[in-house]
Structure 1
Amino acid sequence: MDKKTKLRNDWTKQEIEEIFNQPLMSLIYQAATVHREWHNPEEIQISTLLSIKTGGCVEDCSYCGQAARYHTNIKVQALLPTEKVIEHAQKAKDSGSSRFCMAAAWREVRNNRDFDRVIDMVKGVNELGLEVCCTLGMLTEEQAIRLEEAGLYAYNHNLDTSEQYYEEIISTRTFDNRINTINNVRKAGITVCSGGIIGLGETNGDRISMLLTLATMPKHPESVPINALARVPGTPLENNPKVDTWEMVRMIATARIVMPSSMVRLSAGRIEMDETEQAWCFMAGANSIFTGERETLLVTPNPGVSEDMQMLTTLGLRPKKRAEEVWMNSL
């Protein structure tokens, strides 16, 4: 493709504000143009996210139903057997997923038998030919290297919100902790998956600041998930208002323009969006969704595989093929 929009890592907050605040239809048009310069607009990467260890987390993230201190209906679940995880990964691959992400409700990775088991899971999923992603909390550079050697393709560690608003949402770790983990992932040669959540009570200025942090990293995250708050009963944010679809569209479009090469992932919140609303997000530059056989995204409701495939067919979209499939078809 003829790439006309250059990658930049020197954005200013004022520049991103001007993009973010322009009339919505102009913003969508600009984002759709950039998207077509860098990506095939007819392809959507299908990713599957599996909770391999659920609940009982010592963190106090105000949005999360897996925090032990909140009284939710989410049941604590020990680390899944490796064989079971590989079965889920195979089903995901058979259903059209090209990325399989494993999530554990940990504050940080510890060098113990559970981490050894995660290493085995990464090796097993990698052997299936899937992009392997993990989100396990904070980790050191040495732990990141172990994951990379096992075949990990990506590590998810969201910023969640702006540095200025961060302490309003989480008190058990700092914004710098997030950045340190992302830096450790980069040093190990693993691709970065990092985005945030809107609907936490933040301002548009906070949303712009979060995008500024991502877009001015030495290398943009290869994946940028944009999540709408899932209002989990029992959490401090359960009564926050539903995120308006146009707010999601505006956020996705701005992310697409300032980080042209990244996969912008329409993540949590899709269960409350109809087909038309999701189509606007794709038009604005989103080119990845999470789906799952159990119709959940970690512990919150999410559209199922068959529903998503029907939507893609209706919109004239198709699942993005795995790199190995593209290579084989070129022979």
Structure 2
Amino acid sequence: MEKEQLVRHDWTKEELLAIYNQPLMGLVYRAASVHRLWHHPEEVQVATLLSVKTGGCPEDCSYCGQAARYHTDIKVQALLPTDTVLAHARKAKENGASRFCMAAAWREVRDNRDFDRIIDMVKGVNELGLEVCCTLGMLTENQAKRLQEAGLYAYNHNLDTSADYYNEVISTRKFDNRINTIDNVRKAGLTVCSGGIIGLGETVDDRISMLLTLATMEKHPESVPINALARVKGTPLENNPKVEIWEMVRMIATARIAMPASMVRLSSGRIEMSEVEQAWCFMAGANSIFAGELQTLLVTPNPGLNDDIQMLHTLGLRPMSKE
């Protein structure tokens, strides 16, 4: 039987909870075994994420320092010039990145001159030979198609949390809006990058419900970011407790087992993880990180590129090439 036929889309919450809660050593062993069947165990995709438009967002996502209504130290920045973005992309490629992601703090994409400039950025980054990803908020099928025609490879739109807990985190849009955008991305022929954040005050049941939504999609997201809450001063969640490493390991392992072909991305929160803790995440099935010369992940601290390259070398890992 071809291994692709072994991918399941009929998971139940009870099954995923049983996976998440099994003894840690057995869980990591199982996830590592699945990882080695589907992916090269020594390769980690290095992706660079650049904020091309920062702050001033009208949404009220309680974890986000870019929401205009919260009093944070984040400086609002208009859409960057295309040449500036392409210079960052070239630098990222020189430093070993194979994927370049552009993020704009918008609630939704609007058909205006700024979107036309995003289209130009996508074309330019694609011409550099990098996988191009964008996260721009909600978008229509036609807008997704324009991005696809410009050369976009992936669109990021995280679920953030479970459908049941969603309203506790965000009130300015609905969970179904997230699903609709993902559907529009699929219809346009783009790959999907969608995951969530842990540490928002949710329960384990909420975490598993979020994974279940992704794992029961007709086609699994090609990328599944697992984020630990970055506690931004001035946001409603600034005093939430730090996410413990074993919670991250369990989430990554469960995502790896449920969606074996997907890239599982160790995303926000790495700045508070030791090299040893990150190694556990790689063992559990993570095979992508975000790195960059600015030492930030959007507007929160992130390990420096040189530190990441040294860590990969220490662990016997290497950056994945686009090919």
Q: Could you say which TM-score interval applies, normalised by the shorter chain?
A: over 0.9
- TM normalised by structure 1 equals 0.96
Distance 1:4 1:28, change over 3 A: farther
The correspondence of residues 10-159 of structure 1 with structure 2, limited to 5 A, is 10-159=10-159
After TM superposition, give the deviation of residue 5 of structure 1 in Å: 8.2
Residue 266 in structure 1 maps to residue 305 in structure 2? no
Distance 2:112 2:182 in 1: 22
Residues 4-35 of structure 1: per-residue CA shift (max 9 Å, x gap): 98101111111111111101111000000000
One-letter amino acid of the counterpart of residue 181, structure 1: T
Contact 1:5 1:34 in 2 (8 A): no
Distance 1:33 1:228 in 2: 24
Distance 1:5 1:201, change over 3 A: farther
One-letter amino acid of the counterpart of residue 145, structure 2: I
One-letter amino acid of the counterpart of residue 223, structure 1: S
Counterpart of 2:281 in structure 1 is: 281
Q: Say which SS state the counterpart of residue 75 (structure 1) adopts.
A: coil
One-letter amino acid of the counterpart of residue 167, structure 2: E
Distance 2:27 2:203 in 1: 19
Distance 2:107 2:167 in 1: 16
Counterpart of 1:207 in structure 2 is: 207
Distance 1:216 1:5 in 2: 15
After TM superposition, give the deviation of residue 216 of structure 1 in Å: 0.2
After TM superposition, give the deviation of residue 3 of structure 1 in Å: 4.0
Q: Say which SS state the counterpart of residue 181 (structure 1) adopts.
A: helix
After TM superposition, give the deviation of residue 204 of structure 1 in Å: 0.2
Residues 253-302 of structure 1: per-residue CA shift (max 9 Å, x gap): 00000000000000000000010000000000000000011000000000
Runs of 4+ displaced beyond 6 Å: none
Distance 1:145 1:5 in 2: 29
Residues 179-216 of structure 1: per-residue CA shift (max 9 Å, x gap): 00000000000000000000000000000000000000
One-letter amino acid of the counterpart of residue 179, structure 2: I
Distance 1:320 1:300 in 2: 25
One-letter amino acid of the counterpart of residue 15, structure 2: E
The correspondence of residues 275-314 of structure 1 with structure 2, limited to 5 A, is 275-314=275-314
One-letter amino acid of the counterpart of residue 190, structure 1: L
After TM superposition, give the deviation of residue 322 of structure 1 in Å: 1.1
Contact 1:49 1:292 in 2 (8 A): yes
Residues 215-263 of structure 1: per-residue CA shift (max 9 Å, x gap): 0000000000000000000000000000000000000000000000000
Residue 178 in structure 1 maps to residue 181 in structure 2? no
Q: Which ranges in structure 2 are unaligned for 5 or more consecutive residues?
A: none
Contact 1:46 1:319 in 2 (8 A): yes
Counterpart of 1:223 in structure 2 is: 223
Q: Say which SS state the counterpart of residue 100 (structure 1) adopts.
A: strand
Contact 1:28 1:253 in 2 (8 A): yes
Counterpart of 1:326 in structure 2 is: none
One-letter amino acid of the counterpart of residue 189, structure 1: G
Distance 2:78 2:201 in 1: 32
Percent of pairs with identical residues: 80
Distance 1:93 1:226 in 2: 24
- TM normalised by structure 2 equals 0.99
One-letter amino acid of the counterpart of residue 229, structure 1: L
Q: Which ranges in structure 1 are unaligned for 5 or more consecutive residues?
A: 324-331
Task: Please say which of residues 115-124 and 11-20 is displaced more in the overlay.
Answer: 11-20
Distance 2:177 2:202 in 1: 20
Residues 127-157 of structure 1: per-residue CA shift (max 9 Å, x gap): 0000000000000000000000000000000
Residues 43-97 of structure 1: per-residue CA shift (max 9 Å, x gap): 0000000000000000000000000000000010000000000000000000000
What is the root-mean-square deviation in Å for CA atoms of aligned residues? 0.9
Q: Say which SS state the counterpart of residue 6 (structure 2) adopts.
A: coil
Distance 2:150 2:4 in 1: 37
Distance 1:142 1:5 in 2: 32
Distance 1:205 1:258 in 2: 16
Contact 1:55 1:65 in 2 (8 A): yes
Contact 1:227 1:268 in 2 (8 A): yes
Contact 1:109 1:115 in 2 (8 A): yes
One-letter amino acid of the counterpart of residue 240, structure 2: N
Counterpart of 2:318 in structure 1 is: 318
Count of residues in Structure 1 that have an aligned counterpart in Structure 2: 322
Q: Say which SS state the counterpart of residue 227 (structure 1) adopts.
A: strand
Counterpart of 1:194 in structure 2 is: 194
Q: Say which SS state the counterpart of residue 76 (structure 2) adopts.
A: coil
Distance 2:222 2:159 in 1: 14
Q: Say which SS state the counterpart of residue 34 (structure 1) adopts.
A: helix
One-letter amino acid of the counterpart of residue 39, structure 2: H
